[in-house]
Amino acid sequence: MKRIFMLLLTNFAVVVVLGIVWNVLDSMFDITAIFHQMGLPAEFGYIAVMALVMGFAGSFISLAMSKSMAKRSMGVQVIEYPQTPQERWLFNIVQRQADKVGIKMPEIGIFYAPEPNAFATGARKNAALVAVSTGLLENMTSDEVEAVLGHEISHVANGDMVTQTLLQGVLNTFVIFFSRVVAYIVGALMRGNNNQQQGGGGYGATYYIVSMIAQMLLGFLASIIVMWFSRYREFHADKGGADLAGREKMIAALRRLQSVNQPHDLPGELAAFGISGGLKAGISKLMMTHPPLEERIAALEGHKY
Residue-level length of the chain: 305
Q: How far apart are CA 244 and CA 89, in angstroms?
A: 16
The number of beta carbons lying within 10 Å of the beta carbon of residue 114 is: 15
Confirm if 245 and 146 have CB atoms less than 8 A apart.
yes
User: Is 115 one of the catalytic residues?
Assistant: no
Dihedral sign for Cα atoms in the order 89, 93, 94, 99: positive
Q: How far apart are CA 229 and CA 86, in angstroms?
A: 34
Closest CA to 5 of 216, 299, 229: 216
* Residue of 144, 152, 234, 269 with catalytic role: 152
Which residues form the catalytic set?
A: 152
